[in-house]
Amino acid sequence: MAAEEMTPYGREAAEVADQVAAQYAEEAPRHQQSQIAAVERLLPRLPRAARVLDAGCGTGRPTCAQLSAAGLDVTGIDVSEAMLTAARANVPGARFLQVDLLSEQAADLGTFDTVVSFFCLMNLPEPVFVSALARFASLTRPGGTVLVGVPERPGGAPVKGLSGTYHPPRCTRQDLLHRAGQAGLRVEELDARPGTGIMGAPETHLYLHAHPATRSARSAGVRR
Ligand SMILES: C[S@@+](CC[C@H](N)C(=O)[O-])C[C@H]1O[C@@H](n2cnc3c(N)ncnc32)[C@H](O)[C@@H]1O
């Protein structure tokens, strides 16, 4: 996908991820226990050979590797060529595409039994975050599952990342539930687990397990 075809958010994310990919591959495995546990809990609920999309797959580790080892049909998308190069080497059994999840191209990826996305949406402003969740809902078959992991951000506090200190938008557990409802998702569970950020700072990791709301529930304005 050419940079011009990406959204401004995708382009910016690609620039950062391309710069930090090698360091991310080194550091991230120390901080991914809760994410591995979330996928372990998801696996028994999936049909055999389920089609799974990992949006913002990074290096493919741990998630695509975990899903692929379970015999699932795995597609990983990311905007960063450096991340995708690592992912293709790390998980030869999965398919990796350079696609901006916010772009129109992502709408053409097909339909999946499950869409997962870990630590990819957290720097998006609220309306764009909601659009990303709505995209996941539309890529998931009726009755399928969306699983999204993000750090809880109370708002205002600076966060140290691999490319420096920044001020991420607020995303509390209430925000995440509200955004899921706005995006047409019916929430099954919101799991909050202790974790650490990429620089080792303690933080809470939120895992949203949800399903695309049925058309009738959406049009009737049923509270989800
Ligand atoms: C913090 S990394 C997490 C990677 C992986 N999910 C993991 O758990 O290790 C965030 C990833 O999301 C990707 N990303 C950010 N915005 C994206 C977008 N709009 N479309 C696709 N990928 C995106 C970045 O390039 C990066 O690889």
Whole-prediction pTM value?
A: 0.95
| All residues at 6 or more sequence positions from 160 whose CB lies less than 8 Å from its CB, including other chains | 197, 199, 201
pLDDT band at 3 (very low <50, low <70, confident <90, very high): confident
Name the CATH superfamily for 25-75+110-223.
Vaccinia Virus protein VP39 (3.40.50.150)
Give me ligand 1 centre to Cα 58, in Å.
Answer: 5
Shortest-distance atom of ligand 1 to CA 198: 1
Provide the residue ranges of all domains of the chain, joining segments of one domain with +: 25-75+110-223
Residue range 162-221, pLDDT digits in tens: 999 999 999 999 999 999 999 999 999 999 999 999 999 999 999 999 999 976 555 554
> Residues with beta carbon inside 6 Å of ligand 1?
9-10, 13-14, 17, 28, 35, 56-58, 63, 77-80, 83, 100-102, 118-120
